[in-house]
Amino acid sequence: MPIIKIPTPLRAYTEGEKDISVEGKTVNAALDSLLSIYPDLKKSIYNEYGQLRAFVNLFLGEEHIRDLEGLDTPLTEKDLLLIIPSIAGGRG
């Protein structure tokens, strides 16, 4: 099954789990599968209009899904999908 890697700031919504095995043959289906396990993640991933939030970047391997086929990008059983959010820390 494809695995979605959850970044630290969002692990508060996945009971601390970082690598989640999901069902789905596309990025979209994999996200649906992830959110069916951890519904609290939904507001961090999608905005109120149901669109992917602009600060959430999804990478399949090294490639941004925007540069592939977006949410329709096909996934294989062994794929690793990275969620990369913006983090701001540094000075304080």
Partner 1 sequence: MTTLTDQEFLRYSRHLLIPEVGLAGQEKLKASSALIIGTGGLGSPIALYLAAAGIGRIGLVDYDMVEDSNLQRQIIHDTNTLDKLKVESARARMLGLNPYIQVDSYNEPFTAENAMRIATGYDIIIDGSDNFPTRYLSNDVAVFLGIPNIYGSIYQFDGQASVFYAKEGPCYRCLFPTPPPPHLVPSCADGGVLGVLPGTIGSIQATEAIKVLLGIGSSLVGRLMLYNALEMSFDYVKLKKNPKCPVCSENPTITELIDYEEFCGVPGHHIDEMPNEWDISALDLATEMKSSSPLLLDVREPHEQKISNLPEAKNIPFGELASRLSELNTAQEIVVFCRTGNRSLYAIEILLGAGFRKLKNLEGGINEWAEDVDTSLSIY
Contacting positions for partner 1 (CB under 8 A): 7-9, 12-13, 39-40, 43-44, 53-55, 57, 59, 62-64, 66-67, 82, 84-92
| Closest CB 81 distance from partner 1, rounded Å | 12
* Local structure of 59: helix, strand or coil: strand
Radius of gyration from C-alpha coordinates of the chain? 13
CB of 92 to partner 1, least distance (A): 4
Instruction: Kindly report the backbone phi and psi dihedral angles of residue 86, in degrees, each rounded to the nearest multiple of 5, phi listed first.
Output: -80, 140
Tokens, residue 43: 């507001």
Q: Please identify, using beta-carbon distances, which residue of 78 and 91 lies nearer to partner 1.
A: 91
Query: Which residue's CB is nearer to partner 1, number 16 or number 76?
Result: 16
Handedness of CA 55, 60, 64, 68 (dihedral sign): negative
Cβ closer to partner 1: 32 or 67? Answer: 67
